[in-house]
Amino acid sequence: MNRELMNKKLTIAIVAHDQRKADMVDWTLYNAKTLSKHTLICTGTTGKLIKAAFEEKGISAEVVCLNSGPLGGDAEIAAMVVRKEINLAIFLIDDLSPQPHEADIQMLFRQCRIHNVPIACNRYSADLMITSALWDNDDYVPLLPKYVKFIRED
């Protein structure tokens, strides 16, 4: 899909752990033309870094900074997911280091799954999600997850 075809304005949550922040800034710069058409809701430091990188390159974008992840930013984004205020989440996780706020991280992932909000955990899946033709397909309605008891017949 041509990245310029997306007409729908999205609210995109952007989160990156410390060891992934440089990768996230690089990804947002690479996708700046697309991302600048949407509202970016970021955890604190990640948002500040993205704002600075965009300003340095002369890119105008709406970047909203919440609290840092360990200070409640992940929980704030999870609450926005519950209120249906987030269309897409991009979360570059540092899987190689323990996180003191692991419970908040898992809560964010759980709320995205429950409320059917797509969440990308690496650059490849993020690229696939922001370039999907489904965002502008008015005939496409995502089905809600079905939670039904499975009865095993062994």
Q: What Rg value do the Cα atoms of the chain yield, rounded?
A: 16
Give the list of residues 6+ apart from residue 84 with CB closer than 8 angstroms, or none.
115
Beta strand segments in the chain, E: 11-16, 39-42, 62-65, 88-92, 119-120
Nearest to 1 by CA among 133, 101, 123: 133
Q: Within 10 Å of residue 43's Cβ, how many Cβ atoms? A: 25
Q: Which of 18, 26, 74, 154 is catalytic?
A: 74
Residue with tokens 């990156």: 16
Is 95 catalytic? The answer is no
User: Annotated catalytic sites, by residue?
Assistant: 74
